Chain A
Amino acid sequence: MSSLIEAYSKIAGEDVITQLRQLVRLLKNRRVVHVNSTREGGGVAEILAKLVPLMQELGLDVSWEVITGDERFFQCTKSFHNALQGDRIDIPQRLLDAYEETNRQTAKELAPVLEGADIVFIHDPQPAPLLSYCGARKGKWIWRCHIDLSQPHRTTWKYLRQFVRDYDASIFSLSDFAQALPHPQYLIPPSIDPLSEKNIALEEAEIRGTCDQFGLDPERPLLVQVSRFDRFKDPIGVVQAFRLAEKYVPDLQLVLAGGGASDDPEGEAVRREVEAFSGGDPDIHILELPANAHRTINALQRAADVVLQKSIREGFGLTVTEAMWKGKPVVGGNTGGIRLQVINNHTGFLVNSPEGAALRVRYLLEHPDKLRRMGEKAAGFVRENFLLTRQLREYFTVMAALIHGCEDRIELE
């Protein structure tokens, strides 16, 4: 057994790997290509960095291509990203021209690879127009959208839709994100990589070291919320919940860990608001972490007694998955993908207000046995449902389904 497969087998179970091997047999001699916009940085690249080698080790012929462009291209795609998540942004024509031209040039370079492939996964909007410029394509093309498309800015979506509609299928993370398109829209929730820096098991000494670094007392109870400083994540509500819970658990500490505010003016403003609202309370730790502080985040989540994700709007909420994987019950906002993961009284609690969050935090801290059991259940739930191997199985299923027909039942030898 090769090293990567062996490592996943130890975590996800040998039966999971056996099933992947059986599914791969259905895709024998098929060529698969993934295209996204970066090899490093961001969730998509992180997942592809593991998914592609794992697919290769399982015996699939897979390659990973990247679209690169100039500043105008990335300015345009960043605007897409924000607009598709609801911001009302009008993107100037010169940026749209750069976007289309970059795709046209990339299509020229990659044509032999893309047109010859049996399955092409195009990730997110950046490379979406490639299909329009690959007229001799022979395989099935899938648009994999990782973005929360529940309330897109309509003008931007209308523009992008013209490139997406001709795909053979698309994949969205949640039903809420699916749009009107003339092809099957598969639903595949995202996953976490248990072997990544953000999720790998850590020595106790490292966790303690991280606590020391930020002045946290490991002997006192700790609440942690990891998320961007964004109003939809309700950081003010988290501080309110902390203050209410602190009345009953005076030793309580809170960490609000976020990052990326340097290039996000709104994030900076929200962070300042939270700091002002916290009034210099020494037990409230507002941490601005760099984008690559994966191990620090890992340690903070592991140091927590209870993890909060008190969002009032959320896509899938991978920070919830990460916390649950570390055996932490999550008190989460009753919204989006958090509802799929936080099962009341089993893996955590869904709440609708700071009062609700405080009530549940207090309950968990007063019932350590319950807290431990819920944490164990949470980790088991993630192992069964939200690891990378499950996402890979679903990709294989969609690939097999697209290659072998569109019926409700596809029976293969």
Chain B
Amino acid sequence: MGNLSMLNQNERQFAVRDCALAAIATGERAYNLRELGDKVLTIDPGSIYYHFWGGLLRPRFDDPEYHNDFAIWALYGLKDALLAERLGIIDPTEFSDLNLLRERVAEVIEERLDETEEVPSARRDNPFYFVRSQIVIFDTQCRIDRPEGLADTVPLMSVSSVFYHFIDARRRLPRREDDFRAWLGNCFEGYEDLSEILGKVHPFFSGLTELRARLTAVFRSYFGK
């Protein structure tokens, strides 16, 4: 866990954090599927993170056809719809670390290379650019005292704050859960049912605005607000 937990230990409050993402060019690029596969195996893990999760925080259309950059490039760069579908279904929440996720991507690419006679290539002006990110996390000074407060606060949280507490938390917390469930479980009793409902909200295949709306609906319905 980072040195900033969502918990204010003295007061059992939920401290609302926010985050901002800075994208950094790695200088690495791939012009065809073989190059993509090779570089996926060696690129900084931060780049794998960025190409799966970064799309949620950077300027991007909220309702993309596919939710990771590898699948999007397979479709629009390589014009390989089949590969795009196979890459598009990869769910990063199923992998306990980025190296396992990286291996899955490389595996899908390898399979596709085995099936094709010619290596699929992109136009010279449309390579895959590997990007990594820096994430800056900061305190919003907003605190929630009781679980009921989630129903009022979550709808007002920025989408990046939702990202930090509901998605990024899975990288930070030992049980790979979100901050809301961790808070409810660590500080209160009797919210196991709410945690179970939260556990069913999938964080990946929707935009952050939609995710915030779904979480809002969960908390409002649970607390009758």
A contact residues vs B (CB 8 Å cutoff): 15, 18-19, 22-23, 25-26, 150, 172, 175-176, 178, 180, 184-189, 313, 335-336, 339-340, 343, 346-347, 381, 384-386, 390, 393-394, 396-398, 400-401, 404, 406-413
Contact = CB atoms under 8 A, between A and B. Distances in A.
B133 A408 contact: yes
Contacts of A390: 59
Interface residues of B, number: 37
B3 interface: yes
B139 A386 contact: no
Interface of B: 2-4, 18, 20-25, 27, 29, 46, 59-64, 76, 125-126, 129, 131-141, 156, 158, 160
* Interface class of chain A by DSSP: mixed
A409 B22 contact: no
A384 B61 CA distance: 9
Given A172-B25, A189-B59, A385-B60, A23 B138 contact: yes
A189 B25 CA distance: 13
Contacts of B139: 22, 412-413
Contact of B20 (A189, A393, A407): A393
B25 A185 contact: yes
B162 to A, nearest CB: 12
Contacts of B158: 15, 18-19
B129 A410 contact: no
A187 B24 contact: yes
A276 to B, nearest CB: 29
A398 B23 CA distance: 9
A411 B61 contact: no
Contacts of A187: 23-25, 131
Nearest to B157: A15
A346 B61 contact: yes
Given A22-B138, A172-B25, A394 B3 contact: no
B159 to A, nearest CB: 9
14 contacts: A15-B156, A15-B158, A19-B18, A19-B160, A22-B141, A26-B136, A175-B29, A176-B129, A381-B62, A394-B22, A397-B134, A408-B132, A409-B134, A412-B139
B129 A409 contact: no
A401 B25 contact: no
A401 B136 contact: yes
B152 to A, nearest CB: 15
Contacts of A404: 136
Nearest to A313: B125
A334 to B, nearest CB: 8
Contacts of B59: 189, 340, 384-386, 390
A172 B129 CA distance: 13
Contacts of B4: 411, 413
Given A175-B131, A397-B21, A406-B134, 11 more contacts: A19-B18, A150-B125, A176-B125, A185-B24, A187-B131, A188-B23, A339-B126, A346-B63, A381-B61, A408-B46, A411-B4
